[in-house]
Structure 1
Amino acid sequence: MQELISIVVPAFNEEVVLRLFHEKMTAAFDRLPGYDFEIVLVDDGSTDRTLDLMRELASRDARVCVVALSRNFGKEAALTAGLDYASGDAVAVFDADLQDPPALLIEFVRHWKAGYDVVFARRTHRDGESWLKKSTAAGFYGLMARISRVLIPRDTGDCRLMSRRAVDALGKLREHHRFMKGLFAWIGYPSIAVDYRRQARAAGDTKFNYWKLWNFALEGVTSFTTAPLRLATYVGFVIAFLAFVFGAWVIARTLIWGDVVRGYPTLMVTVLFLGGIQLFSIGVLGEYIGRIFGESKGRPLYLVQLHVPSLAAKVRHDGDAV
């Protein structure tokens, strides 16, 4: 039996580019003889014709698997669902927007066969993105490198190929607040980067605005480091020490020179400053407590309303059953 390679593609409202993605990806398959392939298309509660197109592709191509979630759970959950349903000896992740060219799969497979468990795509250029998005992304990766104990490679996205043992290890991590770039790095295993120039979207609009990117970055920081809590502790200690010194000075001044009613502006600035620090620290605590609350519910990461397996997955399932 030939080795099976699964391609996981999470999609939300990607009807304008889905057929083109299928065409480009199957063309990459033709350049890799000797392997079986399946494309695991995951519909993350799309409101356009994305799911209809997925079912159409599955009816025409037996290599296509469709996993439709019951609603929009977010890209991280959709990606997790795709990895859970992928049957391959190796599993690759691509976005449907073709910013990560399917031709990367050829290099991914070459390095996988050379013994690497994780082969990830590293961007040398980011076409179609504003200077603000590029600069904030660089700042985020720089911050994570400083405060996280897990080394997350710079300028990488979700696009990568993983061996079966890496995918199985990733499947054991079931936290709800998922930052997949960090989880990919957390599992370890031999890894190598493939440099490429990231292209602009082939069609359609990005689903990530700056507010979503901010929340995504916050998820990454709170999921992989307690540095904000430690920072709040240090800042609180320093301010408490300074407040103690200032209080001692006020008492000494009053005993020596007497009490003169002055300093209202200074008092207001001090009170507002300390109040702001306290509210900031409470907010940091709230972020972590909120995540604890979310994890404590024990809800499933996603729910599936439709699953159309690929032919390769059926064959493997039947073979395992025998």
Structure 2
Amino acid sequence: MKLSIVATLYQSAPYINEFHERASATARRLVGDDYEIVLVNDGSPDESLALALQLQSRDCHVQVVELSRNFGHHAAIVAGLAQARGDQIFLIDSDLEEQPEWLLQFAEKMEASGADVVFGVQQGRVASFWSNFSGELFWSALNFLSSTPIPHNPMTCRLMRRCYVDALLEVGDRVLYLAGTFAWTGFKQMAIPLMKTPRPILHKSTYDLSRKLMQVADSFSSFSIAPLSLIFFAGLLIWFGSVLFGLGLVIRKLIEPDMVLTGFTSIMLSIWFLGGSIILVLGVLGMYVGKIFQEVKRRPLYIIKNIYKGKDIG
């Protein structure tokens, strides 16, 4: 099979029919009839699965992968990539902010450059000023601390060769941060600046502040040990400073025996500073210990409940 189109479904009911129509038309323009569309239902609470099965009953190119519950966007992506059979795999979100027609542009770029991966990056973010500022700060900090360069503002959509996808699926991380994993896997990768198409907000986003903070924690702990190094050097600096301060007090006492050491405010400030530093250090260490705990359990990244393809609809 020449081409697999992989998309995940979560509250995707308003978009799925249009996505299928446009993705199918684009695939036929590129490879004729030699393609498949893999739709991964990530425990969606709406009628996404029912609509996907209706499409699958009418179109033999559609394969529906039903996960046993919601495992998260990144896990669902891996589930879809694992089921894809094409020589080239086009990964894209199903909400139509990313255009299925970009596949043609990606394929042309891949053919011309010989790249193993062609992916989109946001040419301009459409969020608020503070969201854009914090996003830019996040990517800059992540790249500063990480030994693996990670492109700023990568999109989900990417066209990948089979050799790259096979290598990507060998990554056994249970705490998965795909933007970093995509870059870490290597191969020849090319970026295309693109603009997302804003869609009407038809339901409340489940990607709230807590999930964003968890993603930040996962990204830093997955692709950088720099925080641990910073803790060591910060501790060393505080220890060295306290030694110098203590020696200074001893010297002053020797020079001025009648000196009375006072300063309740400075003492309390030191206590709060050191106490806060200790809690921060323990928090960072706890983050890494928690990641170790999740990795050593070796639970599967996802569990497939059903796979619907061909005539196997039940």
TM-score over 0.5 for the alignment? yes
The C-alpha deviation readout for 1:107-145, integer Å capped at 9, x for no partner, is 112233342110001211233x22222222111111122
Aligned residue number for residue 218 of structure 1: 217
1:158-206, Cα deviation, whole Å (9 max, x unpaired): 2101100000000100211101011110111111112211111355344
Q: CA deviation at 1:301?
A: 0.9
Q: Counterpart in 2 of 1:146? A: 144
CA contact (8 A) 2:12 2:94 kept: yes
Instruction: Give runs of aligned pairs for residues 1-322 of structure 1, distance below 5 A.
Output: 3-34=1-32, 36-114=34-112, 115-127=114-126, 129-201=127-199, 204-205=202-203, 206-257=205-256, 258-309=258-309
2 CA distance for matches of 1:226 and 1:150? 12
Separation in structure 2 between the aligned mates of residue 277 and residue 296 of structure 1, nearest angstrom: 29
Distance 1:23 1:236 in 2: 58
Query: Which amino acid in 2 is paired with 1:188?
Result: G
Amino acid at match of 1:76: H
Q: Which consecutive unaligned segments of at least 5 residues does structure 2 have?
A: none
Letter in 2 for 1:113: E
Segments of 5+ residues of structure 1 without an aligned counterpart are 315-322
User: Please, what is the CA RMSD of the aligned residues?
Assistant: 1.7
Look up the SS of the partner of 2:195 in the other structure: strand
Instruction: Determine the C-alpha separation between the residues in 1 that align with 2:124 and 2:34.
Output: 32
How far apart are 1:93 and its partner, in Å?
Answer: 0.9
Q: Mark the CA change 1:66 to 1:119 in structure 2 (over 3 Å): closer, same or farther.
A: same
The one-character-per-residue Cα deviations of 1:227-280 (angstroms, maximum 9, x if unpaired) are 111111111111111111111112222333235252111111001101111111
Distance 1:300 1:187 in 2: 20
User: Residue 116 of structure 1: SS of its match in structure 2?
Assistant: coil
Is this contact kept in 2: 1:122–1:157, CA < 8 A? Answer: yes
Classify the secondary structure of the residue corresponding to 2:97. Answer: coil
One-letter amino acid of the counterpart of residue 287, structure 1:
M
1:310: Cα distance to partner? Answer: 5.2
CA distance in 1, matches of 2:136, 2:219: 14
Question: Offset of 1:36 from its aligned partner?
Answer: 1.6
Secondary structure of the residue aligned to 1:10 is strand
Provide the secondary structure at the position in 2 that maps to 1:119. strand
Q: Any conservation in 2 of the 1:98–1:202 contact (CA below 8 Å)? A: no
Give the conservation status (yes or no) of the 8 Å contact 1:126–1:199. no
Contact 2:119/2:159, CA 8 A, preserved across alignment: yes
- TM-score calculated relative to the size of structure 2: 0.93
SS in 1 for 2:171: coil
Q: CA deviation at 1:58?
A: 0.6
| Deviations, residues 269-304 of structure 1 (Å, cap 9, x unaligned) | 001101111111111110001000111111111111
CA positional deviation for 1:60: 1.2
- TM-superposed CA distance for 1:87, in Å, is 0.7
> How many residue pairs are counted as aligned between the two chains?
309
Structure 2 CA distance for aligned equivalents of residues 204 and 22 of structure 1: 19
TM-score, normalised with respect to structure 1 = 0.91
Q: Which moved more, 1:150-159 or 1:78-87?
A: 150-159
* Distance 1:310-1:166 versus aligned 2 partners, 3 A rule: farther
**1:125 match: secondary structure:** coil
Residue identity matched to 1:302: Y
Q: Is the 8 A contact 2:2 2:31 kept in 1?
A: no
**Residues 3, 31 of structure 2: 8 Å contact kept:** no
Tell me by how many angstroms 1:35 deviates: 5.7
